[in-house]
Structure 1
Amino acid sequence: MATPHNVVIIGAGFGGIGMAIRLERAGYRDVVVLEKAGSIGGTWRDNTYPGAACDVPSHLYSFSFEKRTDWTRRFPPQPEILEYLEHCARKYGVLERVRFGTEVTGASFDEAAGLWRIATTGGELTARVLVAACGQLNRPALPPIPGRDAFAGTSFHSARWDHGADLRGKRVAVIGTGASAVQIIPEIAREAGALTVFQRSAPYVIAKPDRPYRDWEKALLAAVPGTHALSRAKTYTLYESRALGFIKYPKLMRVVERQFRKELAARVPDPALRARLVPDYPMGCKRILISDDYYPALTRPNVEVVTEPIARLTEGAVVTADGAEHPADVVVYATGFASTDFLAPMRITGRGGRDLNDAWRGGAAAHLGITVHGFPNLFLLYGPYTNLGHNSIIYMLESQHRYVLGCLAAMRRAGLDWIEVRAEAQAAFDRDMQDRLHGTVWEAGCTSWYKTENGKVTNNWPGFTFAYRNATRRPDPRDFHAHRTP
């Protein structure tokens, strides 16, 4: 067996690249990043659909240690975010550490050796520490619609966009009205002959305060020290204040909801169409979307919004529960991701042969969203309870990076082979999360990708991001079992 690596990271998106950079800067040289695709980027590599962009401003949706002053827009489009990640990977030497085309199929902890044995499509390797940076939005979810395979036209998921498909003049069906759909629909409505939007649940879509950065603004950000930091701090503070409505005082969302209804009335004059676009759940229960062109696109004469449930697909149509057939040449599944499965389909086995999928059968749980009892030296990035509805996930990832480094530094100082979070520490954290989630807007009576099938919210952090940063400032030794080989 080859010499084990110090750290193996699964995934080369924001989480994995940032972790590799922080490890390098902390002096860890033997770090390997395993990436199943042929390039880096994670979700920003996979989602190349028309109109793909971020809904967090660029100055905040970037690493704190690698500022960029020449973003073209306030809300960055997908190609720019991917280019930024590639720049970071090149600048900090991450690319040399990535093994592309290497998919992890499973990993098991060898307690006697104190190592993770990692099975990949390129063979087995071992590591003292395993970091899973797979994210929550990496496995496209296709709906179990009867006859889906019978459809004879072109069909694909939004995260696997078929750029060879010519939509000009075609009859296009978009299934889903989530975050991807509200960006896709305005783009393809301009070229499709007929566009049918199948809506199961109406989203809240509010104005997007986007605009290009002027040349003088970019020059100022680059030339004057502190201006970029000020812009970042201002944006952070504005977005952080939104947590009050999500978590502390859900009734505040009613004010925003009233404004939404006023704007919807102004953008959609047809009362019948407008009625179909009013959500039937409290604002914030599902992800709030931002767009300036989604509602205008739905009012185009070549666009139809269908709210009847889909019964099945035929060779050339989408059939709804009322028996109506909606002819289609192309079907786009904008149906989101398997967000609550986290590390699936990998099989992760911990001490005593404990299977992570079995441990998480009632819903994923991890102490601080990072460590799991029974799985020593395994660290999750963007794990359970770390998603946000109001701020930048990059801020959360950087908090997790620091926590992982703190754990590794403590192990190094004490000469430990591995550490494992105590069952009682993880259980206490999980109880605290569920107690704090009770009464939040996410539990206000809707289904969403934040929840498991049994209705348990496992994805979101029920608090301010600065509170999470404080909680992860340094690992508490009392939370862990420690092991040193005699």
Structure 2
Amino acid sequence: MDTEVYEVAILGAGLAGLGMGMRLKMAGEESFVILEKEDRVGGTWRDNSYPGASCDVQSHLYWFSFDEQPDWSRVFAMQPEIQANIERLVARQGLNHHIRLNAEITEAVWSEDAALWVITTLSGEQIRARAFVAAWGQLNRPSFKGIEGREHFDGDSWHSARWRHDVDLRGKRVASIGNGASAVQFIPEVAEVAGHLTVFQRTPNYCVPRLDRPYTEEERRMFLDDPATLRESRDGFYWEHEGWIGAMKLQDNPVAQEFTRIAREHLESQVPDPELREKLWPKYPIGCKRLLIADTFYPALMRDNVDLVTERIERIEPQGVRTDDGRLHEMDVIVYATGFETLSFLGHVDIVGRSPKSWPPRRGDGVSLRDAWREGPEAYLGMTVSGFPNMFILYGPNTNLGHNSIIAMLECQFDYVVKALEASKAERAALDLRPEVLEHFNAELQDELRGTSFAGACNSWYKTPDGRITNNWSGSVEDYRKRTAELDLDAYELVPAGG
């Protein structure tokens, strides 16, 4: 057993976990460890290496404001460049000394006697820390949407977030099951090489122009030599995105109407076939599902070697995909662009909170976060949960956005967590959210969300089957920044050692 007691243990070495580590170092805290289950940092940018993978937020906005800005090569950065910049960040900030790779957390248990978290990894190692920060993300557990018969397919198949780069797609019959945010990026790339590509669409999505381009060498030199120019570019993108909130926050308002108009014009300018256009046009309000940003998706569907199929998939068979019209679409390769399991947040990690006094802590003594979230995940400001002292969640429940950069939300959370940790040290006690605070916050939040586009008549990964929105924030980043600017210590019960 590791006898050292860390001040902070962080789950995950994606941008959230790494940014938290950077922010701790800025606050003078060096006693922390980042536990990463894979053999490489990067989180979603490590996992999603499919052809054409790139960010939907402009590169100048998709980085920490408190860090040295990378020399981005284009307006919307591609996955290899983002991943390389993440790895350079780790080395430059000295975070490599705090990271343990291949250290998958299986369990984290709060010990009431010692007032700390006991964290167990898959190898059986135990790490003890006074605070536990979960940076496990929302989009990292592939889902296959219950598609029947996947195991019977005779060809190669994989989820888009687990791309098989060893399989040559040249000349092959390829299926893309799904047409969401990942699919619209890899479909144009696959269409270039596949013998034939069939796109199986369950629900169409609104798509607006991306307007991506490389930065010129002159522009890149200017951004490097004059940080104020880069800040101006970043701020411009930020406030432009904040202006998009009207398309997400309220149904049927002028901003939503303008985005709908832009999406329709984009579709009509790139798809001349009226029958195909109507198959690609959504029947739900804009913002209800994730808005897609792409310049090359529609043109890819116009290729002679690409078909769009809108019939429901009945099952996967050894030779291909059977649709409910009885047709068997024979395939050599199937790519599942079926999204992620987004409602549990936990994955396979068992989190056990406050319990009767006991040492060593025993599984089952306290409240399981999985049980606490049985009816849906919820957290105060997306970060803290009653019964789990000194546990903080980054990019947690109701902190996703439909209009701006998650990096901006994360920076609010980093600052809040640092304030909470400083208060915990000053009070010599762990902070446990009062249940009535969480209940009031979530009731108010869900009431606000019922009036947003996210609550529209569509199925999305933002909400549970009964319509409760568990993933998205109800307002703008500026709204969230104001809500998280100060730590209200009265919202927390102070739990001293032995308490």
Q: TM-score range by the shorter chain?
A: over 0.9
Give the alignment partner of residue 206 of structure 1, picking from 205, 208, 212: 208
**Is 319-328 or 344-353 further displaced after alignment?**
344-353
- Stretches (4+) displaced over 4 A: none
Give the alignment partner of residue 295 of structure 1, picking from 269, 291, 298: 298
Partner of 1:312: 315
Aligned residues of 2:247 and 2:286 also touching (Cα < 8 A): no
Partner of 1:215: 217
Is the aligned partner of 1:262 residue 2:300?
Answer: no
Task: Map 1:272-421; keep pairs closer than 5 Å.
Answer: 272-352=275-355, 353-416=366-429, 418-421=430-433
Cα distance, 1:258 vs. partner? 2.4
Partner of 1:239: 241
User: Any idea what the Cα deviations from partners look like across 1:196-249, whole Å, max 9, x if unmatched?
Assistant: 100000011111021111111111112224111111111111000101221146
Partner of 1:443: 455
Is the aligned partner of 1:134 residue 2:146?
Answer: no
Q: Which amino acid aligns with 1:189?
A: A
C-alpha separation between the residues in 2 aligned to 1:39 and 1:420? 33
Q: Which amino acid aligns with 1:403?
A: Y
C-alpha separation between the residues in 1 aligned to 2:397 and 2:456? 20
Change over 3 Å in CA distance of 1:150–1:302 after alignment to 2:
same
C-alpha separation between the residues in 2 aligned to 1:15 and 1:3? 24
User: Any idea what the Cα deviations from partners look like across 1:41-65, whole Å, max 9, x if unmatched?
Assistant: 0000000000000010011100101
3-state DSSP of counterpart to 1:190: helix
Aligned residues of 1:69 and 1:218 also touching (Cα < 8 A): no
Partner of 1:251: 253
Partner of 2:481: 469
C-alpha separation between the residues in 2 aligned to 1:247 and 1:146? 36
Partner of 1:43: 44
Aligned residues of 2:155 and 2:331 also touching (Cα < 8 A): yes
Cα distance, 1:22 vs. partner? 0.9
Normalised to the residue count of structure 1, the TM-score between the two structures is 0.98
C-alpha separation between the residues in 2 aligned to 1:134 and 1:207? 31
Q: Which amino acid aligns with 1:146?
A: E
C-alpha separation between the residues in 2 aligned to 1:469 and 1:315? 52
C-alpha separation between the residues in 1 aligned to 2:409 and 2:472? 11
Q: Which amino acid aligns with 1:483?
A: V
Q: Which amino acid aligns with 2:309?
A: V
Partner of 1:433: 445
Cα distance, 1:26 vs. partner? 1.2
Cα distance, 1:454 vs. partner? 2.2
C-alpha separation between the residues in 2 aligned to 1:135 and 1:100? 17
User: Any idea what the Cα deviations from partners look like across 1:8-40, whole Å, max 9, x if unmatched?
Assistant: 100000100000111112121221110000010
C-alpha separation between the residues in 2 aligned to 1:361 and 1:310? 30
Aligned residues of 1:63 and 1:394 also touching (Cα < 8 A): yes
Cα distance, 1:274 vs. partner? 1.4
CA RMSD in angstroms, aligned pairs only: 1.2
**Is 40-49 or 120-129 further displaced after alignment?**
120-129
The runs of 5 or more residues in structure 2 that have no matched partner are 356-365
3-state DSSP of counterpart to 2:107: strand
C-alpha separation between the residues in 1 aligned to 2:456 and 2:16? 30
Partner of 1:34: 35
Aligned residues of 2:58 and 2:77 also touching (Cα < 8 A): yes
Aligned residues of 1:107 and 1:348 also touching (Cα < 8 A): yes
Normalised to the residue count of structure 2, the TM-score between the two structures is 0.95
C-alpha separation between the residues in 2 aligned to 1:12 and 1:321? 43
C-alpha separation between the residues in 2 aligned to 1:185 and 1:485? 55
- How many residues get paired? 485
The runs of 5 or more residues in structure 1 that have no matched partner are none
Cα distance, 1:474 vs. partner? 2.2
C-alpha separation between the residues in 1 aligned to 2:111 and 2:160? 39
Partner of 1:71: 72
C-alpha separation between the residues in 2 aligned to 1:67 and 1:423? 40
Change over 3 Å in CA distance of 1:448–1:249 after alignment to 2:
closer
Cα distance, 1:259 vs. partner? 2.8
3-state DSSP of counterpart to 2:193: coil
Task: Map 1:49-198; keep pairs closer than 5 Å.
Answer: 49-68=50-69, 70-122=71-123, 123-198=125-200
Aligned residues of 1:250 and 1:440 also touching (Cα < 8 A): no
